[in-house]
């Protein structure tokens, strides 16, 4: 199983000296305690069926960095599996040794080890408002995960895990432009965007807003709040990542008490985003 047009970029990320990169970033970002990036966990590059999502019929979910957990499932699929693949690949130079790692990432939303609680929030939202046909084709038990499998790819600005996020977005924006490991990860994200041609990029978590607008923003961004609480604050606009200009929706985390929490709030965010998208189509048609 190969990744086609993003394979070289993916290899450039996983071939980094991860311990050296993590130590360098921890020092540069002055991270402490639970916010420290963990050099013992291989990088998170993406999850989602990157080879089979339909271009233009998917969404790229962009987080800040992946969460380090300590349960057996995490140990098995985020440490043991990729470490074994990396060690065999380093010994042989055979990319076939990476197949199990790639398959895990591509089939992530079908696996029991997936972060069901987190991703079902996005699968339910996307299935209700955009990918209704996919949602209606599956049973109540699995339609949210199938919306994710068919229509969602997830990546992070920083590919290394920490138990808690303590990244300063301004400092991180500076480092993305200079650090070789972060630069490699961003080139992978660029290649993924070129490959899947997402309907939009959805930046989740407010700490990512500064980075994306500062480094990749194009034109005017619109601030809005379609709800009654601060959790439904939005930023909408366009970004150019690589050679592709794509609509971007920036939200707070779905399901968090300080973010987009209730079904009513999710509907308010969806309706505001639909309205903004429709206005862009009208503008292009003039």
* Whether the predicted pLDDT of 286 surpasses 50: no
* Whether the predicted pLDDT of 282 surpasses 90: no
pLDDT tens per residue, range 64-97? 999 999 999 999 999 999 999 999 999 999 999 9
Give one word for 219, left, alpha or beta, with left for phi > 0 and alpha for psi -120 to 50: left
In this prediction, residues 49-67 reach a mean pLDDT of 96
- Is residue 135 within 8 A of residue 143, CB to CB? The reply is yes
- Is residue 108 within 8 A of residue 102, CB to CB? The reply is no
Tokens of 10: 């993916």
| The predicted structure's pLDDT at residue 159 | 98
pLDDT tens per residue, range 228-264? 999 999 999 999 998 889 999 999 999 888 899 999 9
CA 271 to each of CA 116, 226, 267: distance values in angstroms, whole numbers, following the listed order? 25, 8, 6
Task: Compute the C-alpha angle 250/255/258, nearest 5°.
Answer: 70
pTM over cut 0.85: yes
165: Cβ–Cβ under 8 A, 6 or more apart, which residues? 35, 64, 65, 67, 205, 207
Q: At what angle do helices 18-28 and 180-196 cross, to 10 degrees?
A: 110
In this prediction, residues 19-43 reach a mean pLDDT of 96
pLDDT mean across residues, the chain: 93
- Is residue 120 within 8 A of residue 147, CB to CB? The reply is no
* Whether the predicted pLDDT of 281 surpasses 90: no
Which of these, 21, 35, 4, 69, lies nearest to 175 by C-alpha position?
21
Indicate the pLDDT class of residue 225, thresholds 50, 70 and 90: very high
Segments in 159-252 forming alpha helices (H): 169-176, 180-196, 207-216
| The predicted structure's pLDDT at residue 1 | 53
pLDDT tens per residue, range 135-161? 999 978 799 999 999 999 999 999 999
> Helices then strands (H, E): number in the chain?
12, 6
Tokens of 206: 């407010």
| The predicted structure's pLDDT at residue 248 | 98
Per this entry, what is the length of the chain?
286
Q: Looking at the 3D structure of the chain, how many domains does it have?
A: 1
In this prediction, residues 101-114 reach a mean pLDDT of 95
| The predicted structure's pLDDT at residue 112 | 92
- Is residue 202 within 8 A of residue 64, CB to CB? The reply is no
The H or E element that residue 235 is part of is strand 234-241
| The predicted structure's pLDDT at residue 139 | 79
Domain that holds residue 149: 4-285
């Amino acid at each position: 199983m190969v990744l086609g047009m993003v394979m070289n970029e993916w290899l450039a990320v996983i071939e980094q000296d991860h311990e050296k990169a993590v130590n360098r970033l921890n020092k540069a970002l002055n991270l402490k305690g639970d916010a420290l990036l963990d050099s013992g966990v291989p990088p998170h590059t993406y999850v989602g069926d990157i080879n089979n999502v339909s271009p233009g019929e998917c969404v790229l979910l962009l987080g800040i960095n992946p969460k380090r957990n300590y349960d057996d499932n995490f140990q098995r699929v985020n440490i043991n599996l990729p470490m074994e693949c990396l060690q065999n690949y380093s010994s042989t130079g055979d990319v076939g040794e990476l197949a199990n790692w790639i398959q895990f990432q591509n089939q992530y939303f079908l696996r029991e080890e997936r972060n069901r609680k987190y991703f079902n929030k996005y699968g339910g939202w996307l299935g209700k408002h955009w990918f209704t046909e996919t949602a209606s084709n599956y049973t109540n038990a699995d339609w949210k995960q199938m919306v994710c499998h068919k229509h969602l790819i997830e990546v992070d600005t920083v590919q290394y895990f920490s138990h808690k996020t303590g990244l300063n977005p301004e400092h991180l924006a500076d480092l993305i432009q200079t650090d070789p490991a972060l630069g490699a990860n961003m080139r992978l994200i660029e290649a993924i965007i070129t490959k899947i041609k997402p309907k939009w990029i959805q930046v989740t978590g407010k700490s990512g807003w500064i980075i994306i607008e500062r480094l990749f923003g194009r034109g005017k961004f619109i601030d809005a709040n379609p709800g009654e609480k601060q959790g439904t604050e939005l930023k909408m606009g366009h970004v150019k990542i690589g050679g592709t200009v794509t609509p971007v929706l920036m939200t707070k985390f779905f399901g968090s008490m300080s973010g987009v929490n209730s079904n009513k709030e999710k509907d308010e965010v969806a309706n505001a985003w639909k309205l903004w998208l429709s206005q862009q189509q009208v503008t292009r048609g003039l």
